[in-house]
Every structure is written in C-alpha cells, then in structure tokens.
Amino acid sequence: MGLFDFVKGIGKKIFSHDEEAAEKIKTEIESANPGVSNLDVHYDPQSGTVALSGQAASAEAMQKAVLMAGNVQGVSQVEIASLNHPEEQEQVEYYIIEQGDTLSKIAQHFYGNANKYPRIFEANREVIKDANLIFPGQKIRIPPE
C-alpha cells in the first residue's frame, strides 16, 4: 500500500492556487491533529498527487491523514511511501460515497445494522464534520465491526 486514489473534482475546496496547495493541505491535516509528526506535504498540480512524509503515530493516524489530504478538491492521489507508520493491525475498508447514501445506509451495508452509523462517523470525524452532510465522491474509512 502506498498510493490511494480519490476523485479529483470532489472534496473540500481549501486552495485557490496550485502554489498554495501543499501548505493549505498541511495546515488542514495538522489542524485536526491526526497523530502525524514532522509532516511534509508536496503537491503535483499536473497529476493532482499529494505526497505525504513524516511519522504517523499509528496506522489509524496515517489513514486519517490520507483521507484528509485526498478529500480535498484538486487531489486525485495520495502517496505515502515516505510516511512512516506502524503496520495496520486490522483490515480497514474504504468506501466512496454514492448519490443517495447516508451513514445509516452505509452501516446497514457493511454491518447489517443501520444503527451502527456512529461507528463510521467517529472513524471519519476529520473528514465528516456533520453526520448529515456527506457528499458523493467523498472517500471514508469503514472500521471493522
């Protein structure tokens, strides 16, 4: 695992000019403090690729940093080859939200119980600020039950 794909035209708009993208993405990740130290961000405007480097305190911190960077408008891929992190202990699935989805519907699909949507919400707090405000194309983590 080293490269994560995202929908380039979808996501939170945090930069207006390519020159400011890396700094804005870095600030976005650090503002939520997902557990990455010595974070450095590089953005290639031609490909829409963000390269993250630094030290993640956990696999979960790495996953959250990837989702925060990838769910930014203008980003199509996130590369983590230079982001040191502990090995993932549990299998985490990723899901791209589709038109008509709700967190309850997604929980029903993955867990067989719509009432387990708070588990998905809590695992994605850095990219979902309001459980009722998700959008098609957004990529989220689906933690194990």
Give the whole-number percent of the chain exceeding pLDDT 70.
99
Half-sphere exposure of 48 (CA within 13 A, CB side): 16
| Mean local confidence (pLDDT), 50-69 | 95
Q: Clarify whether residues 76 and 97 are in a common domain.
A: no
pLDDT beyond 60 at 1: no
Q: Clarify whether residues 77 and 101 are in a common domain.
A: no
Q: Clarify whether residues 71 and 16 are in a common domain.
A: yes
Residues contacting residue 85 through CB under 8 Å, at least 6 positions apart: 55, 56, 58, 59, 61, 62
User: What CA–CA distances, in Å, run from 27 to 16, 24, 31, 74, 111?
Assistant: 15, 5, 6, 16, 34
User: What CA–CA distances, in Å, run from 101 to 10, 11, 12, 92?
Assistant: 16, 16, 18, 20
| Mean local confidence (pLDDT), 118-129 | 94
**Res. 145 pLDDT band, cuts 50 70 90:** confident
Distance (Å, whole) CA 58 – CA 87: 8
Q: Clarify whether residues 75 and 103 are in a common domain.
A: no
Domain boundary among 59, 84, 109: 84
Distance (Å, whole) CA 5 – CA 8: 9
Domain with 36 in it: 3-84
pLDDT digits (tens, 9 = 90+) for 19-30: 999 999 999 999
Output the pTM of the full model: 0.90
Check if the beta carbon of residue 4 is closer than 8 Å to that of residue 76: no
Q: Clarify whether residues 68 and 42 are in a common domain.
A: yes
